[in-house]
Amino acid sequence: MSEGRDRILKAAEDLFGTHGFDRISVRDIADRAEVNKALIFYHFNSKDELFETVLLNYFESHTEALRESWDATGTLRERVHRMIDAYVDFIVNHRSWPKLVQHVAATEHGEHIPTVQRGLAPMIEWAVQTFGEIAPNEGPTSVRNLFETVAGSVLHHFTYASVLAPMWNGEPLNEAHIAERRAHLHWLVDIMLDAVESGAHL
Amino acid sequence: MSEGRDRILKAAEDLFGTHGFDRISVRDIADRAEVNKALIFYHFNSKDELFETVLLNYFESHTEALRESWDATGTLRERVHRMIDAYVDFIVNHRSWPKLVQHVAATEHGEHIPTVQRGLAPMIEWAVQTFGEIAPNEGPTSVRNLFETVAGSVLHHFTYASVLAPMWNGEPLNEAHIAERRAHLHWLVDIMLDAVESGAHL
Amino acid sequence: MSEGRDRILKAAEDLFGTHGFDRISVRDIADRAEVNKALIFYHFNSKDELFETVLLNYFESHTEALRESWDATGTLRERVHRMIDAYVDFIVNHRSWPKLVQHVAATEHGEHIPTVQRGLAPMIEWAVQTFGEIAPNEGPTSVRNLFETVAGSVLHHFTYASVLAPMWNGEPLNEAHIAERRAHLHWLVDIMLDAVESGAHL
Amino acid sequence: MSEGRDRILKAAEDLFGTHGFDRISVRDIADRAEVNKALIFYHFNSKDELFETVLLNYFESHTEALRESWDATGTLRERVHRMIDAYVDFIVNHRSWPKLVQHVAATEHGEHIPTVQRGLAPMIEWAVQTFGEIAPNEGPTSVRNLFETVAGSVLHHFTYASVLAPMWNGEPLNEAHIAERRAHLHWLVDIMLDAVESGAHL
DNA sequence: TATGAATGAGAGTTCATTCAT
DNA sequence: CATGAATGAACTCTCATTCAT
């Protein structure tokens, strides 16, 4: 509704996503948004609430971007592959998202952990339902293990990009390298599903 | 030689590892170490240099803890399994390590990225040599992809522990759950090596 | 518009002028101005910028106070005498001015030297034009030598007052003594102009 | 006697003279002298005492350099000219001397004012005796006025060098310009003595 | 909605100085 | 004579936040 509010949110997303909550000051955001510092408090009450709002907005986009994949039909394998693609697409379009989430997880920035948990809930629910068709609740090939491995494999490339750059000729995030990584993820999912289906873990 | 210096380093490791660089002040460290704030600057010149020293110390432990695995003999498969165990052991004993590294990667805290790259170099070299025996340099099953997936799968459990707690009955890091995760990683490595060896990606 | 800003400037002028840039802390200024320390940075960004502003303000007063003399008509001799009086008057009314300028010159406080040079430019221009009517550009009676001797003779009394006090019965700056010094300066200017005009330097 | 002590004194002279008391830290001096910081306190007890010692050393050189001129015989005029030369020579060889003295005078750095007064006493005594032969104690051509004008004219060139550089093609202190200034001072003294002797001030 | 002015708390850092060895 | 370690006080400056307008 308000133009200032949107500009603030946009600036906050960019800056928090690039440098993290603690390295960005309210002044930085006001400068980038070209609004008065006090306006941020008028609209969001505190820096923490602003961050929370940014998080919630991201999760909204997240949910929206993935809903189609969550609702998808077809074989289990098809659904998982489609989700991988949607997930990678989402991150490519929202590069600061993994950093934001990981910032909350890593600094144990107390207040925001429940928000992230709530935001991730639909994703986890999807995983439980989908992988639940073929995997047990506990043990080496449990749903939660499959989920963590897929999620970790996807996210890792983006969160550690800066330090792993040398392995990717300095450009881990260019189109070709992301394509290579995406292909690997599809291969990974395939061998995992093969193995689970054939009971190879026994 | 100097007792104060060691106390400072110990305190800094604990605090930086638990809350991240930006949420910890020099005063926090001095208080925890029970030394005068100025002593930190006497020994380390700046907060940044102190952080750098902590990082370097961690990489020393890291190298030491993994050297045996790096030098190990036996079949490729044996060597990789042994490394997985050593890596998980190391993280269990140095829980702040993944957070420290990830903090640098995520905030793009410029000055420290080269330090992390240097610290990780031996690990990467090991991976390149070991996986290089059976995997290509590029493509979906390239060395770098195998490495990222294994590393991401290991680290993910620890870095995202706080937000994924609900999937693990609230205790992702208790002994039983870490054992389950460890078993999964061994399973994962096995199916990946099986697949690469049989050329299943073609 | 802002009352706090003015109070800060006033306090800074007083304190910098009396004790010099380095012996005065931002806290001192805030205390004297009865404002919050942070307000100084809100209005002036840094201690250096505050000092710069004080300098510029002084030069404004300086220019204003001397403009009449600069624009004056009459014989050369009349104009120079009028300037001497205006200059002494100005310093009597702005006792910290010579100290401020001299502080910059003496500590080679880099950033501020150009400011002082710019501030003194109109004065120098006046001297070049005025003395230029009868004095050469170089040599023992050059414009720049005449200017330095007059300026030095005026300023010296005020800058060295504290250490030369014994010669003036402990009160170099009381009315009677300033009057005596002023009379000397007029005498000095007269004999200098006499000498230059009669070519006595040959 | 002690090598360290001398190195400290030398470093302190250089640094205090170039940047002033307040802009130089004990650490700076220790670094420059290549000694341990604590050694400075062993030899001099405090930064203030070190500064005092530097001042006293300078006055010793000052006295030594000028004694010959003070004791000189010949006509009044000859003695004054010789003093001018000796004074300029001394400053050329001790460029930080005027800055040191002026720093004390300007910051009203309390404790050191008596030291400077004591150091300058022989110079003033000489002036009183010499000029006393022809000038009165009070009034426009009093001894103290003649002294201040000569002293101010000599010192001004050196203390304000940095800000007056533009008038001297950027190099107020090169050999040729100092020679020009010196010639002016001789001219100045001559016309002043002429005027006083002929009673031109009446 | 929006803003300029103001603030208390705390940040990292430097200081002169002390002391045991 | 010399030093490494240590400290309390002070430094400039930034922070998130408030409030009157």
SS3 of D75, please?
coil
Tell me the domain boundaries of chain A: 1-45, 48-197
Residue of B nearest to A117 (CA): B163
Name the CA radius of gyration of chain C, rounded. Answer: 19
CA–CA distance, D184 with C141 (Å, rounded to integer): 6
CA–CA distance, B93 with B98 (Å, rounded to integer): 11
Q: Which chains touch B (3 or more CB pairs under 8 A)?
A: A
Facing C148 at nearest CB: one of D141, D156, D162: D156
Residue of C nearest to D115 (CA): C163
Burial category of D155 from C-beta neighbours within 10 Å (exposed 0-12, middle 13-18, buried 19 and up)? buried
Q: Determine the distance in angstroms separating the CA of C15 from the nearest CA of chain D, rounded to an integer.
A: 11
Q: What is the dihedral of CA D16, D19, D22, D23, to 10 degrees?
A: -120
In eight-state DSSP terms, residue B134 is: T
Asked if residue A135 lies in contact with residue A194, where contact means CB atoms within 8 angstroms, the answer is no
Query: Could you report how far apart the first and last alpha carbons of chain D are, in Å?
Result: 58
Name the CA radius of gyration of chain D, rounded. Answer: 19
CA–CA distance, D121 with D141 (Å, rounded to integer): 21
Q: Between residues C73 and A146, which one has the greater pLDDT? A: A146
Q: For the beta carbon of residue A150, count every other beta carbon within 10 angstroms.
A: 24
A181 has a chain B CB within 8 A of its CB: yes
C173 has a chain D CB within 8 A of its CB: no
CATH class of residue range B47-197: mainly alpha
The per-residue pLDDT for B1 is: 61
Q: For the beta carbon of residue A170, count every other beta carbon within 10 angstroms.
A: 8
Q: For the beta carbon of residue C187, count every other beta carbon within 10 angstroms.
A: 20
Q: For the beta carbon of residue C90, count every other beta carbon within 10 angstroms.
A: 19
Asked if residue A119 lies in contact with residue A41, where contact means CB atoms within 8 angstroms, the answer is no
Output the CA–CA distances (angstroms, integers) from residue B90 to B84, B95, B138, B164, D74, in the order listed: 10, 8, 30, 21, 92
Asked if residue A61 lies in contact with residue A13, where contact means CB atoms within 8 angstroms, the answer is no
The per-residue pLDDT for B109 is: 76
Q: For the beta carbon of residue B21, count every other beta carbon within 10 angstroms.
A: 25
Task: Tokens for D184, please give them.
Answer: 């002016």
Using one digit for the tens of pLDDT, what is the confidence trace for B150-171? 999 999 999 998 889 999 999 9
Whole-prediction pTM value?
Answer: 0.89
By C-alpha to C1' distance, E18 is nearest to D38
Superfamily of domain A48-197: Tetracycline Repressor, domain 2 (1.10.357.10)
A107 has a chain B CB within 8 A of its CB: yes
CA–CA distance, A100 with A87 (Å, rounded to integer): 16
Using one digit for the tens of pLDDT, what is the confidence trace for C46-62? 999 999 999 999 999 99
Asked if residue B6 lies in contact with residue B43, where contact means CB atoms within 8 angstroms, the answer is no
The per-residue pLDDT for D103 is: 83
CATH class of residue range C1-45: mainly alpha
Could you list the beta-strand ranges (E) of chain D. Answer: none
Using one digit for the tens of pLDDT, what is the confidence trace for A129-138? 999 999 999 9
pLDDT value at A103 more than 60? yes
From first to last of its 202 residues, what are the pLDDT tens digits of chain D? 578 899 999 999 999 988 889 999 999 999 999 999 999 999 999 999 999 999 999 999 999 888 888 888 889 999 999 999 999 999 999 988 888 888 888 877 778 889 999 999 999 999 999 999 999 999 999 999 999 999 999 999 999 888 899 899 999 999 999 999 999 999 999 999 999 988 744 4
Side-chain-facing half-sphere of C141: CA atoms under 13 Å: 24
Residue of C nearest to D195 (CA): C191
Interface list for A 125-164 with B (CB within 8 A): 138-142, 144-145, 147-149, 151-157, 159-164
Output the CA–CA distances (angstroms, integers) from residue C160 to C15, C108, C150, C191, D113, in the order listed: 18, 19, 16, 24, 10
Name the CA radius of gyration of chain A, rounded. Answer: 19
C118 has a chain D CB within 8 A of its CB: no
Neighbouring residues of D40: CB distance < 8 A, sequence distance ≥ 6? D8, D26, D29, D30, D47, D50
From first to last of its 202 residues, what are the pLDDT tens digits of chain B? 688 999 999 999 999 988 989 999 999 999 999 999 999 999 999 999 999 999 999 999 999 999 988 888 899 999 999 999 999 999 999 988 998 898 888 877 778 899 999 999 999 999 999 999 999 999 999 999 999 999 999 999 999 988 899 999 999 999 999 999 999 999 999 999 999 998 754 4
The structure tokens 């009449």 sit at C68
